[in-house]
Amino acid sequence: MAVLAPPTPVRTDVVTDVGHVWWRETLTILRDPFSLIFSLLQPLVFLGLFGPLLSGLAGDGSLFGGSSLQWFLPGVVVMITMFGTSMTGSSLQFEIMTGAFERILATPLSRASLMIGRALKELTPLVVQAAIITLVAIPFGFVLHPLHVLAGLLILGIFGVGVGALSYALAIAARKTEWIFWAVQQSLLFPLLILSGMMLPLETGPGWMQVVSKFNPLTYIVDAERLLFAGSFGDVKILWGLIAALVTAAVGLWVGIRSIRKATI
């Protein structure tokens, strides 16, 4: 009687694995769309309350180099990116606590694809939220430059992948003490946002703050987004913003993949 050999595991390439992981993570958003809607409330509040204040502060527009809304909206979109991607590690912490992540590690999927797919998932809510915020601002005087906004979202997407990967790496490092994740995330998030000039021009701040901002990659992202949302393609600051996004993505994915390869939950 012939003995049947056990089935050979189906081997897939990294790109296919990344696609599977991305789709699995995206399904969590589709199953709970209210979390995406709720996450829009904070940037809408910022836009609704800070917009009129900045309009009064700007006066003739010289402080912001033009429309205050044209200046402030890109900062709000960057804020969406930072809040959304920096907190993604919390979902991984939940999977670690429930044992789901341990089961995922036991699958034949490559560990690199687990991190890359999760990080790429951050692009989906980012594009939807940024598009909604931008469309909401048009009736209030925001001038839309579609191609420039798309270029800005591409840069933010690259940057968001890096921040998301770093957030996942932090969640893995803090898997035994959940509060450390939130302590580090909150301690870094707000200084980075403030020192990027997201809410107010850094030119009005003290000299030490302007110097420190030069070492903040988010500063270059914010500068590039403002130029793009204003309809400019020719400023060198846009290139610096793209470089900052690419470096952040490269560092984030390197740290994230390294962390998940060493993970033993």
Summarised one tens digit per residue, pLDDT across range 85-144 is 888 888 888 888 887 777 877 777 777 787 778 777 767 777 777 888 888 888 877 888
Q: Does the residue 5 lie in any domain?
A: no
The reply to whether 8 falls in a domain is no
Q: Which domain holds residue 84?
A: 15-24+33-56+64-261
Q: Which of 8-12, 37-41, 190-194 has the highest mean pLDDT?
A: 190-194
Residue 76 within a domain: yes
Q: Is residue 145 part of a domain?
A: yes
Q: Let me know: does 70 contact 229? Beta carbons within 8 Å.
A: yes
pLDDT band of 57, cuts 50, 70, 90: low
- pLDDT of 225 reads 93
> Does the residue 89 lie in any domain?
yes
Tell me whether residue 168 is exposed, middle or buried, using C-beta atoms within 10 angstroms of its C-beta: 0 to 12, 13 to 18, 19 or more. buried
Count CA atoms within 13 Å of residue 47 on its CB side.
28
pLDDT at 265: 52
- Taking the C-alpha atoms of residue 199 and residue 46, their distance in angstroms, rounded to an integer, is 9
- What's the pLDDT tens digit per position in 147-199? 999 999 889 888 988 898 899 889 888 887 878 888 998 899 988 988 998 87
Q: Are 104 and 63 in contact (CB under 8 A)?
A: no
The type of residue at 9 is P
- What would the pLDDT profile of 206-257 be if each residue is shown by its tens digit? 888 889 999 999 999 999 999 999 888 989 999 999 999 999 999 998 998 8
Predicted local distance difference test score (pLDDT) of residue 55: 60
In-domain check, residue 219: yes
Would residue 7 count as lying in a domain? no
pLDDT at 137: 82
Residue 10 within any structural domain of the chain: no
CB atoms within 10 A of CB 135: 11
- Full-model pTM: 0.81
Task: Tally the domains of the chain.
Answer: 1
Return the DSSP state at 140: G
> Are 208 and 118 a contacting pair, CB within 8 Å?
no
